[in-house]
Structure 1
Amino acid sequence: MEIREARANDRPAIRDVARRSMQASYSLDPTAIIGAIEEWYDENRLRNLLEDDDKVLLVAEHKGQVVAFSDSVITGESTGEILWLHVDPDYRGEDMGLDLFKATRNHLASIGAGNLRGRVLADNAGGNAFYENRGLVKIGEETVDIDGTPYVENVYAEVEAERMEPVELDDGETVFIDRENEETGSIAPFYIVYTERDAEDIYGYWCGKCDQLANAMDASGRIQCDECGNARKPTRWDAAYL
């Protein structure tokens, strides 16, 4: 299987996959599905989608045939939303959807959209379970118009990424504060600061009292804020603190 950006000659296959996927996944009237496909994926919209820098259309190709695709959009400075993720029913159960989801998430992150959201109609039990199994959390509901009829659409997000607060330091570097991940200080909490939004590498600690970086830590794990004196006790044994 190859996952790649869509091309103009993929348009008929994209419409066919969308139609077959919606027929298998949603309890919608067949005429509504056909109307939706014509509205969302007609020649002009697909052409504009492929030319728009804020839109991302990836396809999964198996033996030269497009069998799945994801339709995403950049909605903010660092947020990408998967609007639709369709897999041909004949290719479900082969991790096609999971591989496409991962590739879409990585692609969005590579162009600066580290916050991931996903949308799925409320009556698609399998689609909702898919996002929940990926660790995304339902954060709200909206409506989407399908052939003139409104339907409830659930919105999911990677909460870990959503809660990261970007802060630009004096040297111009941007770090990310996780205010839900804290260490107890003598005056106020210390919040963990990461080098990237994915929260893999710790940069230092943020003082909750004076709201500034308190990056000094000794070998025993003691943190001290030079501005206000807020301190975290050492996490490892050291004779100096007996």
Structure 2
Amino acid sequence: MRAIARDSLQSSYSLSPQQIKTILEEEFDDTSLKDLLEDTDTMVFVVDETVDGTETVYAFITVEVGTRATIRWLHVDPEARGKGIATGLLNRVRKEFVETPISACVLDEAVEGGGNFLKGFGLKESGHDQILLGGEEFDVTMFSEGQKTETPNEPAVPIPESVTVDGASRSVNRDESLPGREAPFFTVSRVDDEEDAYGYFCSQCGSTDVSADGQGRLECGDCGNSHLADEWGNAYL
């Protein structure tokens, strides 16, 4: 389980080596794993195979049981992905907790974010929180069954037809937006001599100081509003 968690964190999360080490030491060292497997309030499901007497574990999911069945960790061996293993684990959890609402806690550093995979099982984003691991705080997104987002994702400021940036007037596409933590981001179009879209307009504060990375994440430099990619993709399927 520790090796699978390590490989999964390395391949599917935008975490530093030190952060990965912190999580492994806090959650997956020998003592923590022993406590996890003995905890009567936590259930662990694994996908394994035994060949010639040798057992190989390919994936695992941990579920904290209370008024809700909360998925805490879901890790699949990167070499075993694409075979529906995570889907099978989620179906197993749903079968086990037929009468208990299911929720999930997802690290925001998951490269592809946390959306469509859980939405396919009827879970919806229900809030944001932080967890403390090894003295370091990690942002998490919460998903819950049968609940909607706490607040509507709507603009907090009027959306202009155009904005002036770098001395050029650039149109704001009011029909093309990405959801943000606080409010949507709207695409700012290029001018004639530019090949790509210029950037984004933050409808939380009205700023165009929005940075983007190769993973599809956006962050407003003025108010901190952010967008995470909507899919877990191959990291969990």
Q: Give the TM-score, by structure 1 length.
A: 0.54
Unaligned 5+ residue runs, structure 2? 148-237
Does residue 75 (structure 1) correspond to residue 66 (structure 2)? The answer is: yes
Inter-CA distance 127–21: structure 2 relative to 1 (3 Å threshold): farther
**Paired position in structure 2 for 1:41:** 28
**Between Structure 1 and Structure 2, which shows a larger proportion of helix residues?**
1
String of CA shifts for 1:189-234, please: whole Å, max 9, x gaps: xxxxxxxxxxxxxxxxxxxxxxxxxxxxxxxxxxxxxxxxxxxxxx
d(CA) in 1 for partners of 2:104, 2:86: 13
Inter-CA distance 126–154: structure 2 relative to 1 (3 Å threshold): closer
**Paired position in structure 2 for 1:53:** 40
Matches within 5 A, 1:118-137: 118-124=104-110, 125=112, 127-137=114-124
Does residue 115 (structure 1) correspond to residue 106 (structure 2)? The answer is: no
Q: CA deviation at 1:28?
A: 0.4
String of CA shifts for 1:7-53, please: whole Å, max 9, x gaps: xxxxxxx0000111111111101121122111112222222222221
Q: Percent identity?
A: 32
Q: CA deviation at 1:148?
A: 3.2
**Paired position in structure 1 for 2:140:** 153
Does residue 65 (structure 1) correspond to residue 51 (structure 2)? The answer is: no
For the residue of structure 2 that corresponds to 1:93, the secondary structure is coil
CA contact (8 A) 1:55 1:73 kept: yes
Aligned partner (choices 66, 77, 87) of residue 98 of structure 1: 87
Inter-CA distance 60–126: structure 2 relative to 1 (3 Å threshold): farther
Unaligned 5+ residue runs, structure 1? 1-13, 161-242
Write the letter of the residue equivalent to 1:29.
Answer: S
Inter-CA distance 93–126: structure 2 relative to 1 (3 Å threshold): farther
Does residue 26 (structure 1) correspond to residue 34 (structure 2)? The answer is: no
d(CA) in 2 for partners of 1:23, 1:36: 11
Inter-CA distance 39–107: structure 2 relative to 1 (3 Å threshold): same
For the residue of structure 2 that corresponds to 1:62, the secondary structure is strand
Q: Which structure carries more relative contact order (alpha carbon 8 Å, separation 6+)?
A: 2
List, as ranges, runs of 4+ consecutive aligned residues in structure 1 with deviation greater than 3 Å: none
Q: RMSD between aligned alpha carbons?
A: 1.8
Aligned partner (choices 127, 151, 163) of residue 140 of structure 1: 127
The structure number with the bigger radius of gyration is 1
Q: Give the TM-score, by structure 2 length.
A: 0.56
Q: CA deviation at 1:105?
A: 2.3
d(CA) in 1 for partners of 2:49, 2:105: 25
d(CA) in 2 for partners of 1:153, 1:73: 16
d(CA) in 1 for partners of 2:32, 2:97: 21
CA contact (8 A) 2:63 2:70 kept: yes
Inter-CA distance 42–19: structure 2 relative to 1 (3 Å threshold): same
Aligned residues: 142
Inter-CA distance 25–154: structure 2 relative to 1 (3 Å threshold): same
Q: CA deviation at 1:126?
A: 5.1
CA contact (8 A) 2:114 2:141 kept: no
String of CA shifts for 1:122-164, please: whole Å, max 9, x gaps: 232254331123221001111123443322211111107xxxx
Write the letter of the residue equivalent to 1:94.
Answer: K
String of CA shifts for 1:87-133, please: whole Å, max 9, x gaps: 01111111010001111222234xxx611001111232254331123
Inter-CA distance 93–30: structure 2 relative to 1 (3 Å threshold): same
